[in-house]
Amino acid sequence: MTIDSRLPNFRAMTPAQRLAHVVQAASLTEEDAALLSRPGALGLDRANGMVENVLGTFELPFGIAGYFQINGKDVLVPMVVEEPSVIAAASFMAKLVRDCGGFETSSSEPLMRAQVQVLGLADPYGARQAILKCRSDILGVANSRDKVLIALGGGCRDLEVQVFPDTPRGAMVVVHLIVDVRDAMGANTVNTMAEAVSPLIEKITGGTVRLRILSNLADLRLARARVRVRPDVLATKERSGAQVVDGILDAYALAAIDPYRAATHNKGIMNGIDPVIVATGNDWRAVEAGAHAYACRSGNYTSLTHWEKDNAGALVGTIEMPMPVGLVGGATRTHPLAQLSLKMLAVESAQQLGEVAVAVGLAQNMGALRALATEGIQRGHMALHARNIALVAGATGDEIDRVASRMASEKDVRTDRAMHLLAEMRGK
């Protein structure tokens, strides 16, 4: 299936017109369109089976980011997010990048870690050697727990053993099982394996196993994206492309050295990534945890992206980060719109999904840096946020755009101003 990710004049369309366009572009069915066009795609019975103490369901806007081209292939990106300007910024950056060859992505194998904590050891280094000697036996027990995963080409590949000789609870050994989880996120798989090998590890070491659980620092399961953008593409009415490139590099430099800036910088990256994770029913909290831990791997919290200027003066941006996502299991399988999101994306593996997510994160970061380096972050954001303020003030129908446009032109986006404008329009 060939997808055209361009969305011309999308903002001017009604939701129904947008849906019709995407249905055609992504070859969706009438049933798919019905899921998106009516509220309550997640039925109460299904929600009740997913989590505890269910009272109802909570909806968020489901949007589409357009113009993405990843490894030469057009991709329509579903995004579930409540914050204005996120989808618009990602789409606009993707449109600029598209003219420069699009995004290049790659990823490592889907390897997750399970941790088995061993306490009560007088000889932790000796215990480490004993565990490594019995490596094949431990791997055999781990792999006996998931025949389906083994049949799919996955399974426990290796183990690592860390020693913490002096902790408040005494000497401690931690065994890491390295598991290829294929197209699953992998939490249940690796947790089951960790529990399965614990009795054997206790027998080998003479110690006591406490924790048996995955690590969300999935530093062996990395996704990467790269862009190269010509200066002329970045130019604005007020600034040349070269000036914009230098401004972006100046903004990035602060994120690279200062954790206060890096926190906001990385939050902007996750503005792009999280909505893709949520739309596909994946665990956005696991992705967030791994991302921020990975940003500290040097000992200092820093940027998840890198921005440079090549010899031709072009802006080059890269990102590499853990991406523990899946196509099977959990809400990915049970939520109807998560399944529809994966259908739209047309990804064939969890690795491809992770690559799409980091490409969107890189686009979002580029959009924020470009705004900071030119007009400031508020101009574009507040213009889109004005619609929310108009809604809060009580605007309906075409009043929303009229009030929002007036506030944006005045650069005065406030609820009381929206209420005043609305009363004025209504002749009160």
Please identify every residue annotated as catalytic: 83, 267, 283, 381
Can you state the angle between helices 30-37 and 336-345, rounded to 10 degrees? 120
CB contact set of 314 (below 8 Å; sequence gap of 6+): 100, 228, 229, 230, 231, 245
Q: What distance in Å separates the CA atoms of residue 331 and residue 278, rounded to the nearest whole number?
A: 10
**What are the phi and psi torsion angles at 65 (to 5°)?**
-95, 130
Residue among 202, 172, 177 at smallest CA distance from 190: 177
**What are the phi and psi torsion angles at 216 (to 5°)?**
-85, 0
Rg (CA), the chain: 25
Q: Is 55 exposed, middle or buried (0-12, 13-18, 19+ CB in 10 A)?
A: exposed
- Amino acid making up residue 408: A
Residue among 312, 153, 157, 323 at smallest CA distance from 225: 323
**What are the phi and psi torsion angles at 147 (to 5°)?**
-65, -30
Q: What distance in Å separates the CA atoms of residue 398 and residue 14, rounded to the nearest whole number?
A: 11
Q: What distance in Å separates the CA atoms of residue 137 and residue 417, rounded to the nearest whole number?
A: 71
First-to-last C-alpha distance (Å) of the chain = 55
Residue among 74, 85, 21, 72 at smallest CA distance from 345: 74
One DSSP character per residue, 396-428 reads -TTHHHHHHHHHHHHT---HHHHHHHHHHHTT-
Distances (CA, A) of 303 to 107, 257, 262, 319, 369: 19, 8, 5, 9, 12
